[in-house]
Amino acid sequence: MSAPVRFQVRASEPGGLARCGRLETPHGAFETPAFLAVGTQATVKTLDPRDLREAGCRIILANAYHLALRPGAERISRLGGLHRFMGWEGPILTDSGGYQLFSLAPLARATDEGVDFQSHLDGARQTLTPERAVEIQEALGPDIAMVLDEPLGFPHTREEAEAALARTTAWARRSRSAQRRSDQALFGIVQGGAFEDLRRRSAEELVPLDFPGYAVGGLCLGENKRETDALLAAAADVLPEEKPRYVMGMGTPADLIRSVRLGADMFDCVMPTRHARRGNLFTWGGRLSIKRNEFAEDPSPIDPACGCPACRGGFSRAYLRHLFQAEETLGQRLMTLHNVFFYQELAGRMRERIRAGGFASWAAETLAGPLGQDPEGPPRGQGLRRGPAGKLLRPTPPGED
Amino acid sequence: MSAPVRFQVRASEPGGLARCGRLETPHGAFETPAFLAVGTQATVKTLDPRDLREAGCRIILANAYHLALRPGAERISRLGGLHRFMGWEGPILTDSGGYQLFSLAPLARATDEGVDFQSHLDGARQTLTPERAVEIQEALGPDIAMVLDEPLGFPHTREEAEAALARTTAWARRSRSAQRRSDQALFGIVQGGAFEDLRRRSAEELVPLDFPGYAVGGLCLGENKRETDALLAAAADVLPEEKPRYVMGMGTPADLIRSVRLGADMFDCVMPTRHARRGNLFTWGGRLSIKRNEFAEDPSPIDPACGCPACRGGFSRAYLRHLFQAEETLGQRLMTLHNVFFYQELAGRMRERIRAGGFASWAAETLAGPLGQDPEGPPRGQGLRRGPAGKLLRPTPPGED
């Protein structure tokens, strides 16, 4: 069967690892480094497909776990698949739901067979196997699907990390065999927890399965930035150069820059969308909270240099602050447009710098500036811990993205 | 001073009262009958200005009471006025807040001087006089402002209605004298409660003040449709033919048709927007609740014959139902676009029928069809009653529109 996606590295940083590429999918091509806006429930919260295009999105992410529970993967299939369902004609990647299972579902438990869990919506007992995860995603019909993996809470022991790694590899193998559709790419996921050698081992075990792309999962869960970099570097070093590398659930603008420097190509994160709904806005001069009193009569847009629909549209900080205070959802949408645009622009600038040369010095300068001082907030996995029954717990409300 | 708005009746129903007109304002002209989408807090909930244009809106309503409390009328003035603040370049009408005061503010009490109340936001004691209501609206800068009136709860006695009428006339006179801006029209408001002769008297007292337009307030608060029609007819009969007539807070599609038949020109109501957020959709075949199970796999748009952005955009009933179930605000926005478009189309069809002839038979047919059977729901003023201290109570949550 012909490859469902085709990846080409088109420019590389001289003497470095950063690269700029192009990934072709059945629903069009996009350039890397690429940031995927998160549309968990078949909508990037507050935005419609035209908004997404105007914010510069070329590929988006949806979540197979959420969609399988509601409205149901087979239902979406009968309605013509995910692209048609949500009216988005560009590429889509779905996450298998491994992370969501362990963070949202009550009593999730991994066995060698799969994950037993209760639906976070109605408490119904279900089992998700690697085969079923593939089947669900083949029904949904994204361009790129992800294998089911077993993520780890933080902190964890080496023994726990080894066990999850072994299971993740075994599941990856079963997932590969379960594939039926030839028009959908399936990416493997590197685990290995907080141990560099296990990250290498995980990647080494996956490479022979010849996935068309590889993700690195379980980063930014509580380890510090230096550790994150070391874990990503260990995995990237083993992964084949000619395949795209996708860092899942990452991160701040600084996280993205540091990871691109280590050879990463794709990212997804709730950060731009979730922050926007809380009134936290990204700019090249650093973050800005729309709640602040100083903006009450500020007639300027969020960022006068920004070309996003909210800034170009003439919506002032004062108006956005008013909408936020008045709990009007238009404010959430305008601020989401801005933040998503910012992340797309960040990815675009990295692509330019890699193509034109000078990425290393741009990255160093940028990390020394406001984006490098960017407050991190609590790590993504704060509160994610292994419960008494081997369950991973996380207090994020269901459906948050 | 030259007239801030200019109204022209361009076509009338032969042998009837319905008419089609054109109102010119400093921010452009619009045709009547016209429906004003409600943007209480300087945003028609979930929609941006481009959405409003695409939904066919030509003039919108905002609420002076809400905006004076937050973010403040003088603040909006310093930011360049309401049009600039919300990015809407077309005509705007502001309601003075009489109705909101008595329905939302704790302990609102009318005296001859004005209304004493507590802010529904922070409990601060304030007084709104007719002069201050004009001043607030001159600061906000809409094209059309409304006088402060004293609305009545339902039911009420003749004595209560006479007292509120007398005060409303006295306040209208003071409002007229308080006007400073020559580029803003001030409309008077007919009250008179549930008594036809008092409605006539109210209109007769206002006409000598020569307002550029007249509203009829306090309808649809609990009386039946026959009574509503009789009260409106009594007022309209006295109001000058060459001035626009605006029925405040009305109504269902059938209400609009019946009122146009009685000579009304303008309407505003939260019905299309509020219903949309609750998943209740207007179509020419009657209402439709997106929650219903039968839509779970329905690939058709809300109304296949509809040209609104949601229906044209290919969003299926199944997708909208999913968004509603998943509490995604995109669903609220798409359904709001549909309902607002429907109301604009309704107004447009009435204009066409008046211009082309045949309005009377079209109205009779339409009222005999699904729109005439339209469920009313509880009247707008259900629960609105006169409290022990002469206060009108209504349980609608603040900021709902």
pLDDT of residue A336: 98
The C-alpha angle A183, A186, A187, rounded to 5 degrees, equals 145
Q: Which one of A313, A319, A333 has the shortest CB-CB distance to B85?
A: A319
A169 DSSP assignment = H
Contact partners, residue A356, CB within 8 Å, separation at least 6: none
Task: State the smallest CA–CA distance between residue A9 and chain B in angstroms.
Answer: 36
Residues of A recognised as catalytic: 95, 268
Residues A206-228, buried b or exposed e (16+ Cβ, 10 A)? bbebebbbbbbbbbbbbbeeeeb
pLDDT of residue A390: 40
* Contact call for residues B390 and B109 (beta carbons, < 8 A): yes
The mean of the pLDDT values for chain A is 93
pLDDT of residue A349: 98
Nearest of A290, A283, A328 to residue A307 by alpha carbon: A283
Q: Which one of B79, B319, B332 has the shortest CB-CB distance to A299?
A: B79
Q: Which residues of chain A make contact with B328, given a CB cutoff of 8 A?
A: 41, 43, 45
Name the pairing type of β-strands B288-289 and B280-281.
antiparallel
pLDDT of residue A401: 63
Residue A308: CA atoms inside 13 Å, Cβ hemisphere, count? Answer: 30
Q: Which of residues 288-317 of A touch B (CB under 8 A)?
A: 296-297, 299, 313-316
Nearest of B168, B139, B136 to residue B152 by alpha carbon: B168
pLDDT of residue B386: 41
Nearest of A190, A271, A221, A194 to residue A102 by alpha carbon: A221
* Contact call for residues B64 and B96 (beta carbons, < 8 A): yes
- For residue A291 the two structure tokens come to 């709640």
Which of A40, A43, A67, A400 best probes binding to B when mutated, by most B CB atoms within 10 angstroms? A43
pLDDT tops 80 at residue A386: no
Distance between CA atoms of residues B79 and A367, nearest Å:
36
* Domain ranges in chain A with CATH number 3.20.20.105: 6-269
Distance between CA atoms of residues A234 and A193, nearest Å:
12
pLDDT of residue A221: 86
* Contact call for residues B82 and B94 (beta carbons, < 8 A): yes
Q: Which one of A297, A299, A329 has the shortest CB-CB distance to B329?
A: A329
* Contact call for residues B306 and B338 (beta carbons, < 8 A): yes
- For residue B314 the two structure tokens come to 């290919």
Taking the Cβ of residue A46 and every Cβ of chain B, the question of whether any pair is shorter than 8 Å is answered with yes
**In this predicted model, what pLDDT tens digit does every residue of B21-46 receive, in sequence order?**
999 999 999 999 999 999 999 999 99
Distance between CA atoms of residues A369 and B212, nearest Å:
59
- For residue B44 the two structure tokens come to 């028609």
Position B5 confidence tier, pLDDT thresholds 50, 70, 90:
very high
Task: Tell if the CB–CB gap between B78 and A315 is shorter than 8 Å.
Answer: no
Taking the Cβ of residue B43 and every Cβ of chain A, the question of whether any pair is shorter than 8 Å is answered with yes
pLDDT tops 60 at residue B381: no
pLDDT tops 50 at residue B264: yes
pLDDT tops 70 at residue A389: no
Taking the Cβ of residue A87 and every Cβ of chain B, the question of whether any pair is shorter than 8 Å is answered with yes
Task: Tell if the CB–CB gap between A330 and B78 is shorter than 8 Å.
Answer: no
Task: Tell if the CB–CB gap between B71 and A318 is shorter than 8 Å.
Answer: yes
pLDDT of residue B391: 39
Distance between CA atoms of residues B290 and B324, nearest Å:
8
Nearest of A252, A207, A202 to residue A228 by alpha carbon: A252
Task: Tell if the CB–CB gap between B330 and A71 is shorter than 8 Å.
Answer: no
The identity of residue B277, as a single letter, is: R
Burial class (CB in 10 A: 0-12, 13-18, 19+), B220: buried
**In this predicted model, what pLDDT tens digit does every residue of A121-172 receive, in sequence order?**
998 999 999 999 999 999 999 999 999 999 888 899 999 999 999 999 999 9
B294 alpha-carbon distance from chain centroid: 33
Question: Cβ of A35: how many Cβ atoms within 10 Å?
Answer: 30
E-only strand ranges, B129-251: 144-146, 185-190, 214-216, 245-247
pLDDT of residue A384: 43
B299 upstream amide cis, omega within 30 of 0: no
pLDDT of residue A2: 63
The DSSP-derived string for A313-327 is: TT--HHHHHHHHHTT
Which residues does residue A8 pair with via DSSP β-bridges, in sequence order? A22
Distance between CA atoms of residues B258 and B261, nearest Å:
5
**In this predicted model, what pLDDT tens digit does every residue of B186-236 receive, in sequence order?**
999 999 999 999 999 999 999 999 999 999 999 988 899 999 999 999 999
Nearest of A339, A244, A299, A315 to residue A46 by alpha carbon: A339
Residue A137: CA atoms inside 13 Å, Cβ hemisphere, count? Answer: 37
pLDDT of residue A115: 94
CA B23, B28, B33, B39: dihedral to nearest 10 degrees?
A: -120
- For residue A359 the two structure tokens come to 């990425």
Distance between CA atoms of residues B375 and A380, nearest Å:
48
If DSSP codes are grouped into helix, strand and coil, which group holds residue A336? helix
Name the pairing type of β-strands B28-32 and B34-38.
unpaired
pLDDT of residue A218: 93
Burial class (CB in 10 A: 0-12, 13-18, 19+), B181: middle
If DSSP codes are grouped into helix, strand and coil, which group holds residue B203? helix
pLDDT tops 50 at residue B320: yes
Taking the Cβ of residue A89 and every Cβ of chain B, the question of whether any pair is shorter than 8 Å is answered with no
pLDDT tops 90 at residue B49: yes
Distance between CA atoms of residues A147 and B347, nearest Å:
54
Residue A71 parent element (H or E): none
The DSSP-derived string for B9-30 is: EEEE-TTSS-EEEEEEETTEEE
pLDDT of residue A108: 87
Q: Which of A23-37, A68-82, B135-149, B152-166 has the lowest mean pLDDT?
A: B152-166
Q: Which residue of A has its CA nearest to B41?
A: A326
Write phi, then psi, for B301 (nearest 5 degrees).
Answer: -70, 175
pLDDT tops 90 at residue A190: yes
Can you tell me the mean pLDDT for A90-112?
88
* Contact call for residues A211 and A186 (beta carbons, < 8 A): yes
- Read off the pTM: 0.95
**In this predicted model, what pLDDT tens digit does every residue of B70-119 receive, in sequence order?**
999 999 999 999 999 999 999 999 999 888 888 887 778 899 999 999 98
The class of domain A6-269 in CATH terms is alpha beta
Q: Which one of A42, A79, A330 has the shortest CB-CB distance to B297?
A: A79
pLDDT of residue A378: 47
pLDDT tops 50 at residue B398: no
pLDDT tops 60 at residue A352: yes
The DSSP-derived string for B230-265 is: HHHHHHHHHS-TTS-EEETT---HHHHHHHHHTT--
Nearest of B33, B31, B23 to residue B3 by alpha carbon: B23
Can you tell me the mean pLDDT for B263-283?
98
Which residues does residue B12 pair with via DSSP β-bridges, in sequence order? B19
Distance between CA atoms of residues A98 and B181, nearest Å:
63
Nearest of B138, B240, B242, B248 to residue B189 by alpha carbon: B248
pLDDT of residue B290: 98
Can you tell me the mean pLDDT for B330-349?
98
The mean of the pLDDT values for chain B is 93
Task: Tell if the CB–CB gap between B47 and A78 is shorter than 8 Å.
Answer: no
If DSSP codes are grouped into helix, strand and coil, which group holds residue A232? helix
Position B375 confidence tier, pLDDT thresholds 50, 70, 90:
low
Taking the Cβ of residue A201 and every Cβ of chain B, the question of whether any pair is shorter than 8 Å is answered with no
* Stated length of chain A: 401
Distance between CA atoms of residues B212 and B247, nearest Å:
15
Position A383 confidence tier, pLDDT thresholds 50, 70, 90:
very low
pLDDT of residue B108: 87
pLDDT of residue B396: 46
pLDDT of residue B221: 85
Position B349 confidence tier, pLDDT thresholds 50, 70, 90:
very high
Distance between CA atoms of residues A167 and A174, nearest Å:
11
pLDDT of residue A169: 98
The identity of residue A144, as a single letter, is: I
